Structure 1
Amino acid sequence: MANASAKRTAAQNETALRNLKIWMLAAPFIALFIRFFFRSSLFPSRTSIFIHVLTFIPLFVLYTHLNSIGSPRRDPTTGALIGSGEDLNMSGVTEWCWDIIYVTWGCQIGSAALGEWFWWVYLCIPLFALYKIYSVFLKPYFFSKAPESASTEDETAQSMSKRQQKLKKRSDKGDPRVKRL
């Protein structure tokens, strides 16, 4: 039997996956609607069609990934919840999957409304990936300076706990309660 948090996660995942399915169909239709009614040309250029197809590949891969990890498993006979699936509101890779999906939909609709130049916004995805690689992997290991060491007394004071610092002060004063080694 599933607990309350698993049921809540399963309900949130079902809602998120349902909205994902709706928007996977709605975003291209909104783009076509905008093109048909608000732009002079119905059909995009060959370059834009190529970009649509090219960006649909990661969109579909991320959709199937989120669908596979987030779908709750239920008992077919009773309908009882067996597993809630992974939480689709997690930070990290799952959050980045959602971000890529949102940027792709935005670029589809934006290119239909504002022009083909709007696909340049899609470059924020690899730029963000490069930023993360630099800030998480390269900067700490290769580009960080060695910390400037203060006096050795300050270093030992920083490494000692408050209790150890208090005992050291008592010892320096000659307090008989502190054993000297």
Structure 2
Amino acid sequence: MANASAKRTAAQNEAALRNLNIWMVLAPLISILIRFLFRSSVIPPRTSSVIHGLTFVPLFVLYSHLTSIGSPRRDPTTQALIGSGEDLNMPGVTEWCWDIIYVTWACQVGSAALGEWFWWLYLCIPLFALWKIYSIFLKPYFFSGSKEEATDDDQGAASMSKRQQKLKKRSEKGDPRVKRL
């Protein structure tokens, strides 16, 4: 039997996956409709067609991934919840999957409405990935300064909590509120 948290997660995942399924069809249809109504041809230029095809691959992979991890499992006979699936509102990789999907849809519709230059927005994805690699892996290990420069006092102060540091300063001043051991 599932608890209330699992049921809530399952309901949120089902709603998110339902919206994902709708927009997987709706975004390309909006793009085609805009091109048909406001442009001279329904078929985009060759470069844009190639970009549409290339961006469909990560879009489909992420769609499949989110569908597989987020789909709740139910008992076929009683429809009782067996497993809620992974929470699709989790921060981290799941959140980045949603961001890539949203940027892809925006580029599809934006290129139809505003022009093929709108695909340049898609570069925010690798730029964000490079920023994350820099801030998580490179900056702390290669650009944080030398470890030997820190003195023993600095290392001792860093290991103490703020409250302990404050009490130490009070005891050094001779504050009667601090008990000396």
Deviation per residue, 1:15-70 (Å, 9 max, x gap):
00000000000000000000011123322111111110100000000000000000
Aligned counterpart, 1:134: 134
Q: Across the two proteins, how many residue pairs are aligned to each other?
A: 176
User: TM-score, structure 1 length as denominator?
Assistant: 0.86
| Cα distance in 2 for residues equivalent to 1:155 and 1:69 | 43
Q: Computing the radius of gyration over CA atoms, which structure comes out larger, 1 or 2?
A: 1
How far did 1:145 drift? 1.2
Match of 2:27 in 1: 27
Shift of 1:75: 0.3
Q: CA deviation at 1:159?
A: 4.2
Does the residue aligned with 2:42 lie in a helix, a strand or coil? coil
Residues 135-157 of structure 1 show CA distances to partners (whole Å, capped at 9, x for unaligned) of 000000001113764783x7645
Evaluate the alpha carbon distance shift between residue 140 and residue 84 of structure 1 in structure 2; reply closer, same or farther with a 3 A threshold: same
* Structure 1 vs Structure 2 CA RMSD: 2.7
TM-score by length of 2: 0.86
In 2, Cα distance between equivalents of 1:38 and 1:60 = 28
- For 1:48 and 1:157, the matched residues in 2 are separated by 58
- Alpha carbons of structure 1 residues 130 and 74: separation in structure 2 relative to 1, 3 Å: same
CA distance in 2, matches of 1:158, 1:49: 56
Hey, what's the Cα distance between the residues in 1 that align with 2:18 and 2:41?
32
Tell me the SS of whatever aligns to 2:82: strand
Partner of 1:113: 113
Structure-2 separation of matches of 1:74 and 1:27:
30
The structure 2 residue matched to 1:169, chosen from 165, 171, 174, is 171
Pair 131,158 (structure 1): closer, same or farther in 2 beyond 3 Å = closer
SS at match of 1:82: strand
What is the 5 A alignment of 1:64-143? Answer: 64-143=64-143
Aligned equivalents of 2:157, 2:50: Cα separation in 1: 63
Is 1:42 the counterpart of 2:42 in the alignment?
yes
Q: 1:15 to 1:163 in 2, by over 3 A?
A: closer
